[in-house]
Amino acid sequence: MSVFRFQQFSVIQENSAMKVCTDAVLFGAMAPVKQGDSLLDIGTGTGLLSLMGAQLGAEQITAVELTLPAYEEAALNFKNSPWAEQLEALHADIQSFAAHSIAQYDLIICNPPFFTDHSKAYNQLRNTARHTDQLTFEDLLDSVNRLLSEKGLFYVLLPIHAIEKFTALALALGLYLNRQIDFRGYAHNEAKVSALTYSMQISIPYKKCLTIYKAERVYSEESEQYLSPFLLRFALK
């Protein structure tokens, strides 16, 4: 069985299409969670971001997942965690959930499908997790617009090339880019993905680039600051 162990929880990832990776863990570790937040995780996969949100202090967490194997895995990971009573996994598409839900969330997080025109992998579950066929940016933003509280935050991980289009679509719905943190592997690399925070509050976006590694298998001081409460390697120091 494929299991990724963190300091306070473990993630079974045997059947989910998208496995634990550095970008996703760093994205989750940097999530703007406030104590007591209600949190919605769109496309939860293994439940990783929801579990990290619970550790960061979110009080009530709803995780929506389209594919059945991933939903079942997330539900199991939630049950096995210290926050089982705070975490709820739902097998649904976010469009239907948004259309029928009356809930409003303090924080919505999403590591969404990235690709539109790229060639597709053979594995159908991986296709669904990686491509926008079943969750377009327009559908995602429309769902967020329905579910986000007036003072809430929408936190999303996107490839750099998609930011301009996504931000324009968000703006048309009254969602403003407040914060952009680009991730690059090493100082000599170009950033490929970015952690973006949107809200209904107009502001001048804060932008910076975070370097993940300072040497092979050695995290930078900044990334270590975020990851140290989660990764086992830092518990052993």
DSSP string, 83-103: TGGGEEEEES-HHHHHHH---
Residues 6+ apart with CB under 8 A from 172: none
pLDDT number for residue 15 = 87
What letter does residue 236 receive in the DSSP assignment? T
Token look-up 């473990």 returns 10
pLDDT for res 64? 98
Residue pLDDT, tens place only, 25-49:
999 999 999 999 999 999 999 999 9
What is the pLDDT at residue 181? 98
Contact 30, 197 (CB under 8 A): no
3-235 under CATH 3.40.50.150, yes or no: yes
pLDDT, residue 117, reads 42
To the nearest 10 degrees (0 to 180), the angle between helices 22-29 and 48-56 is 30
Q: What is the DSSP letter of 162?
A: G
| Sign of the C-alpha dihedral computed for residues 10, 98, 30 and 83 taken in this order | negative
End-to-end CA distance of the chain: 27
**The predicted structure's pLDDT at residue 130:** 42
What residue ranges of the chain have pLDDT lower than 70? 114-134, 237
DSSP character for 191?
A: P
